[in-house]
Structure 1
Amino acid sequence: MTNHDEAATVRPLTLAWVSRHLEVGERIVKTEALHGGITAEMRRLTIGTPDGGTRDLVLRTFVNVEHAEDWLDREVGALTLLTGTGVPAPALVAVDPTASYCEYPSLLMTHLAGRTVLDDEGLETRVPLLARQLVAIHAVRPAERPRKYVALTTADTVVTPKGADAAVWAAAINVIRRPAPPYEGRFLHRDFQPGNVLFDVPPSGQADARIMGVVDWAATSWGPADLDVAHCATVLALLHGPAWGLRFSRAYEEAGGVLAAAASERLYWQVRDGLACSEEVQQVAQPWREAGRTELTTRTVEERLNAYVTALMDTLG
């Protein structure tokens, strides 16, 4: 077995566990670290087959992550639910949520073709595709609902960026002091954003791009569609500029999605997610830089977040 780099090395107990879940005559011939994740280590495993071919699997490992068992249980539930729905998600191969066999809690799943695309080029094509995919996710009707969404951000934990308009941010914080608006529940991904969507962009260009898969289902929940839409909008605003965050909500509706009827209710969810990012700007920006967006310094992302929150509050008139 060869390693693409040191980070790709699979720990001995985990390696043995993976091997037990391969088909007869198969073996791991190559491992490669997949970058961009925040909560878990991701590795692509190339499996040699008896006929001389290969296939790929993905190994997801939670190293010293609190509530790893819960994350993995939710992901397993989601992957099982999504089988046969038309939503392009990985298929479950094996899971060790309590690290009974592996060094750390781990999940083994099929590898999906495609790649994450974080560049500005081709965004006009990709945003409608993202919107249509999210509408399809929200259309899933599970026989057993996942647990209710959790929104950890509070008015007291928001971190106002340096140089931001204090009055604007105080007003935004006051928005989330109010009780959450009533909503019609939907099946939520809870981290749907470009970093968790795999695209095929053919040589013919971005105009022919298509979505091949959606990954990272560990936070699936039950809650308002507005919350998933708000999260993707925030990430688009930070990656590509505030105007794209504002555009995504419209794209979702144009794709047939239904959001809260009242503008004030939509604003609640939009602001809540935007403010949530204030607490983890550095954590969010680093994987983007590692993926090639080196211009997205922590300060740049803070400035975009400030501009986006300001633009949201401007909708109040």
Structure 2
Amino acid sequence: MTNHEEAATVRPLTLAWVRRHLAAGERIVGAEALLGGATAEMRRLTIGTRGGGIRHLVLRSFVDPTRQGPAEDLLHREADALTTLTGTGTGTGVSAPGLVAVDPAAAHCEYPSLLMTHLPGRAVLADEGLETRLPLLARQLVAVHAVRPAVRPREYVALTTADTVVTPEGADAAAWAAAIDLLRAPAPRYEGRFLHRDFQPGNVLFDLPPDDRAGAASAAGAAGARITGVVDWAAASWGPADLDVAHCSTNLALLHGPAWGLRFTEAYQEAGGLLAGTADERLYWQVRVPLAFSEEVQWVAQPWQEAGRTELTTRVVTERLDAYLTSLMDAPG
């Protein structure tokens, strides 16, 4: 029996901290690493309950520095977002994990950590079934933006500047230069919304029939597909809806091809989402995200490769990034 061996992969101080937040009579009987955590170490913990059943929790530990800011700040934001989204009577239409405990400053754990409930379902990154999933993703993001938190999260932070963009070798130099010039202007005024800030297929869970665990793509493309939850709220912010839409659109363009990025923007509006009022304002937000991705293409592609999309090499993703940015700059207003 390997349960104790698996549980031991959680560091001793963190393990003791988790145990303090279990119900009476519960114990940790297993732990497994979760794929896709690009900025943190993720583990699903199996908890044996007092009545002989099991339940699951998810442990997030920031073991390395992040590009998004200090881990302490990220965990405070995630804890606040989870509290907002799972509070009694919120009626947000957004299913998120429930907060169990958080140790932002690593006062008790080896690393800054957060413990939360486990949601059913899994992320689906395959091309198959995307036609069905796309409107579901769009409607879910509209629901996220409709959340009105009692305490507004901090304003979004844009780390990319015109001077930090990395124009890919062989890219459409004119299109990239024109896009970079857009960043030199002040950001357009906007009506603020509650933002996820990393809303993309890797952070959206879909239900899958138990007998189709190996065929995730076909199951998620079936007519009965539904979203079971949205995870990874560490970058939750306040800002323009356009920013979340641009982030998801860029991810879809790199995962599935540039045309899908453009289609998601349309799907969001068809679902009732509101974007910036003018074409120039919308374009500013649309290009900001792919320009930011230019600085970290390898980092973006790695979790997709680990999840089975091995054909998404850095070169392929870079080519798609160039094609998508060019399509945005060429699109009619």
Task: Please indicate the TM-score interval, normalised by the length of the shorter structure.
Answer: over 0.9
Q: 1:69-121 CA deviation, whole Å, 9 max, x = no partner?
A: 10000000000011143310000001111111110010000000000000000
The answer for the alignment partner of 2:309 in structure 1 is 293
Letter in 2 for 1:79: L
The answer for the alignment partner of 1:305 in structure 2 is 321
1:82 and 2:85 matched: yes
The answer for the alignment partner of 1:54 in structure 2 is 54
Q: Normalising to structure 1: TM-score of the pair? A: 0.97
What is the alpha-carbon root mean square deviation over aligned residues? 1.7
Which residue of 135, 142, 150 maps to 1:135? 142
Identity %: 78
CA drift at 1:145? 1.0
The answer for the alignment partner of 1:39 in structure 2 is 39
The answer for the alignment partner of 2:225 in structure 1 is 209
CA drift at 1:64? 3.2
How is 1:1-317 mapped onto 2 (pairs within 5 angstroms)? 2=2, 9-65=9-65, 67-83=70-86, 84=90, 85-202=92-209, 205=219, 206=221, 207-316=223-332
Tell me: CA distance 1:194–1:4, structure 2 relative to 1, closer, same or farther (3 Å).
farther
Letter in 2 for 1:70: D
1:81 touches 1:142 (CA, 8 Å); kept in 2? yes
Q: Distance in 2 between matches of 1:5 and 1:290?
A: 24
Letter in 1 for 2:25: G
Aligned residues: 317
Letter in 2 for 1:227: L
2:7 touches 2:29 (CA, 8 Å); kept in 1? no
CA drift at 1:8? 8.1
CA drift at 1:221? 0.6
Letter in 1 for 2:159: L
- Larger displacement relative to structure 2 (3-12 or 50-59): 3-12
Q: Distance in 2 between matches of 1:26 and 1:217?
A: 27
CA drift at 1:5? 8.8
CA drift at 1:2? 3.4
Letter in 2 for 1:231: H
CA drift at 1:52? 1.1
2:6 touches 2:31 (CA, 8 Å); kept in 1? no
Q: 1:30-87 CA deviation, whole Å, 9 max, x = no partner?
A: 1000011111000000000121110000000001325111000000000001114331
Letter in 2 for 1:150: V
Runs of 4+ in structure 1 deviating by more than 2 angstroms, as ranges, are 1-8, 201-205
Tell me: CA distance 1:293–1:200, structure 2 relative to 1, closer, same or farther (3 Å).
same
Tell me: CA distance 1:5–1:215, structure 2 relative to 1, closer, same or farther (3 Å).
farther
Unaligned runs of 5+ in 2: 213-217
Q: Distance in 1 between matches of 2:325 and 2:200?
A: 18
